C-alpha cells in the first residue's frame, strides 16, 4: 500500500523542465518549414512564386528579417534527394524523385501499370505534356530550356514553385510537393502551373510576378476547361474587387487576372494571350502593353476590350449565360458597389473609389412599369470615365446602352415598361494623379417617357377594307418612330402591321395626332391593336390595347 501510494504521488508530480538549449538551431530548419514560414494572405492561395519574386526584387540594403532570408535561401537551393532517381519527360525535361524508405521527400512506389515509373511521376509528366501542348504547340511559345522538376516535401500546403535560373537561358528547377496531401490532381495542376511559369520566365525578367502568376493560373484553367477551387477563388476575388484596377499591386488580385487572359482567349483567340504576355515581358507600362497587344491581334483597343470585359464580369454565378465565360456559373455572383430597390435611387453614401482601369457596377430595381427610368452619372473631374446602362427585361433579355459623357457627366433614359432591373456600369480609364476616384449617380422615374398617349382608337375603314387606327400623344421625348402592333383577340402571334416606322412628329410640349390604315385586317375577326414607340436608343414602349372587329364594308 505504501509503495502504491508512493508511486501515485510520484506520477502526479509535475515534470521538471530540462535546461533550455543555449545554442538553438536557427529556424526555419527545412524547405517545408521555410514555405510555411513565408505564409501570408497571398501564399494562402499557393502563390509562393509571387512571394519569392517579391523578396528577390527587394533592394540589397532592405531590412529583411534574418529568418525570412534563411527561408528564402532554403527555397532557392536546389533540393538534394536521398537515392535520387530521374525520369525524362517532354522537351527533355527531367523529373527527379526518390522512393527511398525514410527519406523525407519520398513518393509512393505505387506503379499500377507496371512500367517501372511510379504513378505520381507519370501524373507530373501528364501535366507537363498538357502544358507543353497548349503553350508550345498551340500558342507558339519557346519551350523552356533545361527545365527540371523535383518532387520534394513542401508540407502539403503549397503545390509548388519555380527556382529561376541565375540568368536568361540557364536551368530552372520546378519544385512540386511530393506529399500530394491535397490529391494527385493537385500534383498534375502544379506541373502545368510551374511549366507556365518556366515559359514566361524564358521570355526574360520583364514580366511582373503578378502577370506571371495570372498566366500560370490561366494555363490550368484552359487545359482543364473549368477552374479548380484555387483558381475559382482567385478569379472570383479579382472580379469582386475590379474597382482596384487591372494593374493592382496586390498579388492575389494580380493572380486573379487570369480571368482577363481567359476573356482575351474566348473573345480573340489564343494569339491575343500570347501577344499580351510577350508585350508585358518587354517591361513596358502595363496599360500600354495590353493596348499594343490588342491592336496587334485585333481591331480593338484596350478601352473597347475593357468595356466588353466589364459586361462579361457581371454575368457570373446565378447571372451566368451561355454566351460569355463558359465556366461563369462556377464563379461568385457579381458584387455591386450599391443596390437600390425602388425609385428614386441616390448615391447618398459614396461608393468605393475606382482606380484607373478599374470598374464598378450599381444595381437598380425600379419596381415600376409606366413612364421611364432616367439615370444620371457624374465622375470626379480628375479621371477619365466611361459608363453604360445594362437593361434586363422581364424575359431576361439584356440590352447594353452607352451613356454619352461630357466632362465626366451624362444621363440616359429608357422606358420602364418591361424593365426588371438595370445595372449602371462604371469604368475609370485614367486618373490624373494615379489615385482612385469617386463618382455619384441618381435614378428616378420620369412620367410620360418616352411618350404620353391621350387616346388610341381602331375602327372599321368606311371606304375600303381594313381598319383605321388613330392615336394622339400629349408629349414625346427622344422618340424617333412608331409601330402598329396587331394580334388576334383569341390568341396568336403579335405582328407589326407597318413595313416602315411611322415617323414621330411630336415634341415634349404639344399634342400630336396620327392615323394609320391596316388594309390586311380580315372582316369578322376580332383584333387587339397597340401603339409601340421607339426611342433613339432603340428601346420601346407600348400602349394599352384597343379591340376592334372589322365588319364587311357596306355596299
CATH of the domain at 487: 2.60.40.10
Residue 22 has pLDDT above 70, yes or no: no
Asked whether residue 521 falls in the same domain as residue 415, the answer is no
According to the model, what pLDDT value does residue 67 have?
87
Angle between helical axes of 229-240 and 209-224 (0-180°, round to 10):
120
Nearest CA among 163, 6, 138 for reference residue 79: 163
Residue 340 has pLDDT above 80, yes or no: yes
According to the model, what pLDDT value does residue 19 have?
53
Is 32 contained in some domain? no
Is 67 contained in some domain? no
Residue 502 has pLDDT above 90, yes or no: yes
**Which residues, other chains included, contact 28 with Cβ-Cβ below 8 Å and sequence gap of 6+?**
34, 36, 37, 67, 70, 71, 74
Residue 131 has pLDDT above 50, yes or no: yes
156 pLDDT tier (thresholds 50, 70, 90): confident
41 pLDDT tier (thresholds 50, 70, 90): low
According to the model, what pLDDT value does residue 529 have?
98
Give DSSP secondary structure letters for 141-190.
PPPPTT-EEEEE--TTS--EEEE--SSTTS--EEEEESS-TT-HHHHHHH
Asked whether residue 138 falls in the same domain as residue 180, the answer is yes
Number of domains composing the chain: 3
Residue 403 has pLDDT above 50, yes or no: yes
* The three cell numbers locating residue 517: 390604315
264 or 285: whose pLDDT is higher?
Answer: 264
Rounded-to-integer distance, Cα 158 and Cα 175, Å: 10
Rounded-to-integer distance, Cα 56 and Cα 139, Å: 29
Residue 59 has pLDDT above 80, yes or no: no
Asked whether residue 471 falls in the same domain as residue 522, the answer is yes
DSSP code, position 436: -
Q: What angle do CA 541, 385, 406 make, to 5 degrees?
A: 70
Enclosing domain of residue 485: 451-548
Q: CB–CB of 309/296 below 8 Å?
A: no
Boundary-marking domain end, from 402, 431, 446: 446
Rounded mean pLDDT, 285-304? 95
Q: What is the largest CA-CA distance in the chain?
A: 134
Boundary-marking domain end, from 446, 463, 487: 446
In this predicted structure, which of 71-75, 123-127, 282-286 has the lowest mean pLDDT?
Answer: 282-286
Residue 554 has pLDDT above 70, yes or no: no
Residue 27 has pLDDT above 60, yes or no: yes
Question: How many other C-beta atoms can be found within 10 angstroms of the C-beta atom of residue 107?
Answer: 22
According to the model, what pLDDT value does residue 92 have?
84
Is 50 contained in some domain? no
Asked whether residue 465 falls in the same domain as residue 379, the answer is no
Asked whether residue 384 falls in the same domain as residue 345, the answer is yes
46 pLDDT tier (thresholds 50, 70, 90): low
Rounded-to-integer distance, Cα 477 and Cα 422, Å: 21
Average pLDDT, the chain: 91
According to the model, what pLDDT value does residue 64 have?
74
**CA 459 remoteness from chain centre:** 55
Q: What percent of the chain has pLDDT over 70?
A: 92
43 pLDDT tier (thresholds 50, 70, 90): low
According to the model, what pLDDT value does residue 168 have?
61
Rounded-to-integer distance, Cα 466 and Cα 96, Å: 87
Asked whether residue 168 falls in the same domain as residue 145, the answer is yes
Altogether, the residues listed in the chain come to a count of: 555
Residue 132 has pLDDT above 50, yes or no: yes
Residue 16 has pLDDT above 70, yes or no: no
Bridge partners (DSSP) of residue 437 are 354
Asked whether residue 364 falls in the same domain as residue 266, the answer is no
Is 53 contained in some domain? no
According to the model, what pLDDT value does residue 5 have?
30
**Which residues, other chains included, contact 224 with Cβ-Cβ below 8 Å and sequence gap of 6+?**
189
* The three cell numbers locating residue 366: 425600379
363 or 37: whose pLDDT is higher?
Answer: 363
Residue 1 has pLDDT above 80, yes or no: no
Rounded mean pLDDT, 324-340? 96
Residue 3 has pLDDT above 70, yes or no: no
472 or 65: whose pLDDT is higher?
Answer: 472
Rounded mean pLDDT, 492-517? 97
According to the model, what pLDDT value does residue 377 have?
98
508 or 26: whose pLDDT is higher?
Answer: 508
According to the model, what pLDDT value does residue 8 have?
29
According to the model, what pLDDT value does residue 291 have?
97
Is 36 contained in some domain? no
Q: CB–CB of 180/186 below 8 Å?
A: yes
Asked whether residue 404 falls in the same domain as residue 259, the answer is no
**CA 227 remoteness from chain centre:** 12
DSSP code, position 37: H
Asked whether residue 201 falls in the same domain as residue 309, the answer is yes
Question: How many other C-beta atoms can be found within 10 angstroms of the C-beta atom of residue 424?
Answer: 27
Asked whether residue 406 falls in the same domain as residue 544, the answer is no
Asked whether residue 174 falls in the same domain as residue 316, the answer is yes
Residue 514 has pLDDT above 50, yes or no: yes
Q: Is 303 helix (H, G, I), strand (E, B) or coil?
A: helix
Bridge partners (DSSP) of residue 527 are 488, 548
Is 19 contained in some domain? no
According to the model, what pLDDT value does residue 7 have?
30
Q: CB–CB of 297/269 below 8 Å?
A: yes
Is 399 contained in some domain? yes
Is 242 contained in some domain? yes
Rounded mean pLDDT, 448-475? 96
CATH of the domain at 193: 1.10.390
Nearest CA among 551, 525, 554, 555 for reference residue 459: 551
CATH of the domain at 381: 2.60.120.380
Residue 300 has pLDDT above 90, yes or no: yes
Rounded mean pLDDT, 447-455? 96
**Which residues, other chains included, contact 274 with Cβ-Cβ below 8 Å and sequence gap of 6+?**
139, 140, 141
Asked whether residue 216 falls in the same domain as residue 310, the answer is yes
Residue 49 preceded by cis peptide, ω within 30: no
Bridge partners (DSSP) of residue 412 are 375
Residue 346 has pLDDT above 70, yes or no: yes
Helices and strands in the chain, H and E counts? 13, 23
Boundary-marking domain end, from 426, 446, 466: 446
Amino acid at each position: 500500500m505504501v509503495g502504491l501510494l508512493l508511486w501515485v504521488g510520484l506520477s502526479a508530480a509535475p515534470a521538471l523542465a530540462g535546461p533550455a538549449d543555449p545554442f538553438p538551431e536557427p529556424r526555419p530548419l527545412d524547405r517545408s518549414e521555410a514555405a510555411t514560414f513565408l505564409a501570408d494572405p497571398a501564399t494562402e492561395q499557393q502563390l509562393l512564386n509571387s512571394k519569392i519574386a517579391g523578396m528577390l526584387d527587394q533592394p540589397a540594403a532592405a531590412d529583411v528579417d534574418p529568418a525570412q532570408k534563411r527561408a528564402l535561401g532554403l527555397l532557392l537551393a536546389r533540393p538534394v534527394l536521398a537515392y535520387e532517381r530521374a525520369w525524362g519527360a517532354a522537351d527533355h525535361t527531367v523529373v527527379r524523385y526518390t522512393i527511398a524508405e525514410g527519406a523525407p521527400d519520398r513518393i509512393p512506389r505505387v506503379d499500377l501499370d507496371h512500367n517501372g515509373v511510379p504513378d505520381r511521376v507519370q501524373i507530373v509528366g501528364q501535366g507537363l505534356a498538357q502544358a507543353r501542348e497548349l503553350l508550345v504547340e498551340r500558342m507558339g511559345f519557346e519551350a523552356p530550356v533545361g527545365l527540371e522538376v523535383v518532387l520534394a516535401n513542401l508540407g502539403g500546403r503549397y503545390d509548388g514553385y519555380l527556382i529561376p535560373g541565375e540568368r536568361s537561358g540557364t536551368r530552372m528547377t520546378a519544385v512540386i510537393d511530393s506529399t500530394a496531401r491535397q490529391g494527385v490532381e493537385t500534383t498534375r495542376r502544379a506541373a502545368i502551373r510551374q511549366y507556365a511559369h518556366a515559359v514566361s520566365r524564358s521570355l526574360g525578367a520583364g514580366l511582373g510576378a503578378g502577370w506571371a502568376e495570372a498566366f500560370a493560373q490561366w494555363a490550368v484553367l484552359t487545359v482543364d476547361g473549368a477552374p479548380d477551387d484555387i483558381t475559382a477563388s482567385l478569379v472570383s476575388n479579382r472580379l469582386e474587387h475590379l474597382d482596384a484596377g487591372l494593374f493592382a499591386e496586390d498579388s492575389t488580385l494580380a493572380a486573379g487576372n487570369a480571368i482577363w487572359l481567359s476573356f482575351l482567349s474566348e473573345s480573340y483567340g489564343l494569339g491575343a494571350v500570347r501577344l499580351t504576355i510577350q508585350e508585358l515581358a518587354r517591361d513596358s507600362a502595363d496599360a500600354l502593353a495590353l493596348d499594343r497587344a490588342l491592336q496587334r491581334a485585333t481591331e480593338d483597343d484596350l478601352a473597347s476590350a475593357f468595356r466588353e470585359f466589364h459586361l462579361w464580369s457581371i454575368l457570373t454565378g446565378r447571372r451566368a449565360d451561355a454566351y460569355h465565360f463558359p465556366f461563369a456559373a462556377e464563379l461568385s455572383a457579381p458584387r455591386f458597389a450599391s443596390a437600390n430597390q425602388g425609385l428614386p435611387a441616390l448615391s447618398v453614401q459614396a461608393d468605393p473609389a475606382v482606380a484607373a482601369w478599374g470598374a464598378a457596377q450599381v444595381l437598380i430595381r425600379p419596381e415600376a412599369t409606366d413612364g421611364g427610368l432616367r439615370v444620371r452619372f457624374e465622375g470626379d473631374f480628375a479621371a477619365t470615365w466611361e459608363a453604360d446602362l445594362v437593361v434586363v427585361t422581364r424575359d431576361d433579355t439584356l440590352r447594353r446602352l452607352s451613356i454619352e459623357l461630357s466632362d465626366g457627366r451624362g444621363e440616359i433614359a429608357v422606358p420602364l415598361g418591361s424593365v426588371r432591373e438595370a445595372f449602371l456600369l462604371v469604368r475609370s480609364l485614367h486618373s490624373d494623379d494615379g489615385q482612385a476616384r469617386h463618382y455619384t449617380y441618381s435614378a428616378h422615374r420620369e412620367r410620360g417617357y418616352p411618350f404620353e398617349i391621350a387616346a388610341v382608337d381602331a375602327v372599321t375603314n368606311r371606304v375600303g377594307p381594313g381598319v383605321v387606327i388613330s392615336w394622339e400623344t400629349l408629349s414625346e421625348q427622344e422618340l424617333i418612330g412608331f409601330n402598329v402592333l396587331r394580334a388576334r383577340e383569341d390568341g396568336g402571334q403579335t405582328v407589326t402591321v407597318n413595313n416602315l416606322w411611322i415617323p414621330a412628329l411630336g415634341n415634349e410640349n404639344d399634342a400630336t395626332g396620327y392615323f394609320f390604315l391596316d388594309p390586311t385586317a380580315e372582316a369578322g375577326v376580332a383584333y387587339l391593336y397597340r401603339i409601340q414607340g421607339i426611342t433613339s436608343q432603340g428601346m420601346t414602349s407600348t400602349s394599352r390595347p384597343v379591340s376592334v372587329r372589322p365588319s364587311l364594308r357596306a355596299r
